[in-house]
Amino acid sequence: MKSMEELVDFYFRPNRLPHLWCPGCGNGVVLGALLKAIDAENLAKDDVAIISGIGCSSRASGYVDFNTANTLHGRALPISTGLKMARPELNVITLSGDGDCSAIGGNHLIHAARRNIGLTLVVFNNSIYGMTGGQYSPLTPVGKKATTAPYLTIEPSFDILALAQAAGATFTARATTYHVPVLVDVLRKGIRHEGFSIIEVVTGCPTNYGRQNQMGAPAKMMEWQKDHGVMKAAWDKMDEAAREGKFPIGVLSERKDLKEYTKAYDEVIARAQASVKEETA
Amino acid sequence: MSRVLLLQGNQAVVEGAIAAGVRFYGGYPITPSTEIAEGMAKRLPQVGGKFMQTEDELAGIGTVVGASLGGVKAMTATSGPGFSLKQETIGMACSAEIPCVIVDVQRVGPATGQPTSPSQGDVMQTRWGTHGDHWLIVVSPSSVPECFDLTRRAVELSEKYRCPVILLMDEIVGHMRERIELPDSYEGLSVPRRKQPDTPPEKYLAYADTDGSMVPAMADFGSGYRWHMTGLVHDETGFPKGTPAATKNSQDRLHLKLRDHEDDIVQVENYRTDDADVVVIAYGGAARTAYDAVDMARDEGIRAGLLRPVTIWPFADRQIQAAAKKTKRLLVHELNCGQYVREVGRAVRGLVPVDLYAKYDNEPATPEQLLGKIRESAEKIKGAK
């Protein structure tokens, strides 16, 4: 396996650094893990497309040397979907943030999951709108401070993976920026999964979330991830009381009974062409 | 060999798109454009293409942009409410120069308006619907055969100039059934794809004007040319760059690539205008009324003619100025409270008076009604003598 320096040399575009992320931000850890996963899966650069929405994490697409697009707020999934339909052979990896994916792009999330289209969606969940300076998102927990919730948030947050599962997602997984080997592992499995896969990555935004909520220095926020993320196998053995405030990590669900969308569409083409032959026969 | 059919305008759009080589459609049902989605759902997979009924209008245009990035000619169709929803992505397609065709079959607005009644109330929205300075192309058919031809033309222009092209229809043209003669085979009718890079991948700059046309070559995602698309202001490398010079250069090229090719893009039809004292200016469904009204006016001795903009944007400044120099009065007829007439007034700069027959009551004008307005304009010419 390549070292991080070798990964940067090989996969980063020359002259695109420095990145715009704040010191202590977890986005670089997620992007590094993604490059490790792509490298471990031996995917050629030409065969990978990275499509992102808008937000801090979505800037990642511009730094790396693949077919890339930094699109519109909330629209990474439709654009990824169109590209996958045009080029089913491409490994299309969609990068999105918690606000991008669960608020302004929420409708696209449930329908991409329902269709089971072969995209790998990586959700950088930092519990906040970072780029605009710290407003609450649908994944900000109740009782937290945000610039638009100066008196604490009152809206319950989504469990985005439960939402995706209910909508039909055939692969769901979670990791944190502390649990990097787990993150690389679930990214690899998500990429390999034929249908729609969603990987939620719990990551820290010390500048715009941590500071408002007295979570301490970046390292402290990673300790929080270490203390609250529990491997699925251990999670399954825990009772309700022990689970309080914690969350499971690893592959949370996987099913193979549903056909991938572009493959299913090939059957539509076959039926349509057979009907034309019948008509002309 | 060809076949004669009785088709709706919307169905002719489907055939024009298939003939042009469109192989992806993403869209959401909306009256009065739904027949285009239904037709594409049936026809695309027959020719190996793909149709998606998306979760909403935003995803409709989003999937189209995604498919176009992959190198496939792609199209969507909608009506006013959906057209409003698509605007942000249309702007991104202008900025990132992604070929795509958007059909807007207009209905009465604003808001839900009158879904099955004709209107031309979106004509300014096609030009200025998305935010920010931008240029794009809009063409408008007024017959069923022209729906076929202009859909092909829309695809051709979008590929050639790397910009969104809007096919502006109205409920009249979309739902009207008319005789159309179509070739048995569409072989040879597919329009050229966007220009491909002639540099090796390591030398490819996604937004460099390499041949002076101001239209950069566009590599397909997955073709071995790796590049970055962004809706941020970018320089010739395709990466974000926000300096004043980069911003101005990018805006200039996006404008000039269309403005400097107006001779190729802008088309108008002149009908009996050579010696006309009154020239009616009408487009799309409203022009249908005008042919008859002009003939009726001629029958009673009024020298009338019709100038029909086929290309709605960029505006046919030169053609309309030329008409204004030769005639005595212009009469704009449109199915709204008066939108395009303002552009006509701007273009003719007081050379001749510009009258307006605005119709905005859910119904198209009859030729008799428009004839009445032609008579009024003719009377004003006499009165001015």
Is-contact B221 A90, C-beta < 8 A?
A: yes
CATH, domain B2-183, list 3.10.350.10, 3.90.25.10, 1.10.10.10, 3.40.50.970:
3.40.50.970
Q: Say whether B58 and A111 touch across the interface (CB within 8 A).
A: no
B268-384 belongs to CATH 3.40.920.10: no
Q: Which residues pair with B333 in a beta bridge?
A: B357
* pLDDT confidence band for A154 (50 / 70 / 90): very high
Which pLDDT does position A280 carry in this prediction?
A: 77
**Is the model's pLDDT at B375 over the cut of 80?**
yes
DSSP assignment string, B103-163: EEEE-B-STT-BTTS---TTHHHHHH-SSSS---EEE---SHHHHHHHHHHHHHHHHHHTS
Residues A94-124: tens digit of each pLDDT: 999 999 999 999 999 999 999 999 999 999 9
Q: Is B242 on the interface with A (CB under 8 A)?
A: no
Which residues from chain A sit within 8 angstroms of residue B66, using beta carbons?
51, 78-86
Partner residue facing B221 (CB), from A65, A78, A83: A83
Q: Taking the CB of residue B383, how many other CB atoms lie within 10 A of it? A: 7
Partner residue facing A72 (CB), from B52, B72, B89: B89
Mean predicted lDDT score pLDDT of chain A: 97
- B280 — alpha (psi -120 to 50), left (phi > 0) or beta? beta
For residue A50, give how far its alpha carbon lies from the nearest alpha carbon of chain B (Å): 9
Q: Is B88 on the interface with A (CB under 8 A)?
A: yes
Which pLDDT does position A279 carry in this prediction?
A: 80
What's the mean pLDDT in B78-83?
98
Which residues from chain B sit within 8 angstroms of residue A78, using beta carbons?
26, 54, 58-63, 66
H or E stretch at B235: none
User: Scanning the structure block, which residue is given the tokens 């969104």?
Assistant: B164
Which residues from chain A sit within 8 angstroms of residue B60, using beta carbons?
78
Which residues from chain B sit within 8 angstroms of residue A273, using beta carbons?
45-46, 48
| Helix residue ranges per DSSP H, chain B | 9-20, 34-46, 57-69, 80-96, 123-128, 144-161, 171-175, 244-259, 262-265, 284-299, 317-326, 340-348, 367-384
For residue A80, give how far its alpha carbon lies from the nearest alpha carbon of chain B (Å): 6
What's the mean pLDDT in B62-71?
98
What's the mean pLDDT in A240-246?
96
Q: Could you check whether B2-183 and B268-384 share the same CATH topology?
A: yes
Which pLDDT does position B383 carry in this prediction?
A: 86
| Cα–Cα distance, B114 to A71 (Å, whole number) | 34
H or E stretch at A34: helix A27-40
Q: Say whether B228 and A69 touch across the interface (CB within 8 A).
A: yes
Mean predicted lDDT score pLDDT of chain B: 97
User: Cβ contacts of residue B119 below 8 Å, gap of 6+?
Assistant: B106, B107, B108, B109, B113, B170, B171, B335, B336, B360, B362
Q: What DSSP state is assigned to residue A58?
A: G
Which residues from chain A sit within 8 angstroms of residue B56, using beta carbons?
107
Q: What DSSP state is assigned to residue A253?
A: E
Burial-class residue A31 by CB neighbours within 10 Å (0-12, 13-18, 19+). Answer: buried
∠ at Cα B44 (B42, B47), nearest 5°?
Answer: 115
Is-contact A206 A217, C-beta < 8 A?
A: yes
- Phi/psi of residue A182, each to 5°? -65, -45
Q: Which residues pair with B230 in a beta bridge?
A: A70
Which residues from chain A sit within 8 angstroms of residue B221, using beta carbons?
49, 67, 83, 87, 90
For residue B235, give how far its alpha carbon lies from the nearest alpha carbon of chain A (Å): 13
How do B177-183 and B2-8 pair as beta strands?
antiparallel
- Domain boundary assignment for chain B: 2-183, 268-384
Which pLDDT does position A251 carry in this prediction?
A: 98
Residues B170-203: tens digit of each pLDDT: 999 999 999 999 999 999 999 999 999 999 999 9
How do B329-334 and B354-358 pair as beta strands?
parallel
Q: Is B186 on the interface with A (CB under 8 A)?
A: no
How do B2-8 and B228-230 pair as beta strands?
unpaired
Q: Say whether B65 and A273 touch across the interface (CB within 8 A).
A: no
Q: Using beta carbons and an 8 Å cutoff, which residues of A are at the interface with B?
A: 13, 16, 45-47, 49, 51, 61-62, 65-72, 74-75, 77-87, 89-90, 107-108, 110-111, 265, 268-269, 271-273, 275-276
Is-contact B23 B49, C-beta < 8 A?
A: yes
Domains in chain A with CATH codes? 4-280 (3.40.50.970)
| Cα–Cα distance, B31 to B105 (Å, whole number) | 8
What's the mean pLDDT in A35-55?
98
Is-contact A272 B42, C-beta < 8 A?
A: yes
Q: Is B74 on the interface with A (CB under 8 A)?
A: yes
Per-residue exposure over A140-163, b if at least 16 CB sit within 10 Å of its own CB, e if not:
beeebbbeebeeebeeebbebbeb
| Cα–Cα distance, B91 to A4 (Å, whole number) | 38
Residues B18-43: tens digit of each pLDDT: 999 999 999 999 999 999 999 999 99
CA distances from B244 to A20, A70, B233 (A): 20, 21, 10
What's the mean pLDDT in B218-237?
97
**Is the model's pLDDT at B385 over the cut of 70?**
no
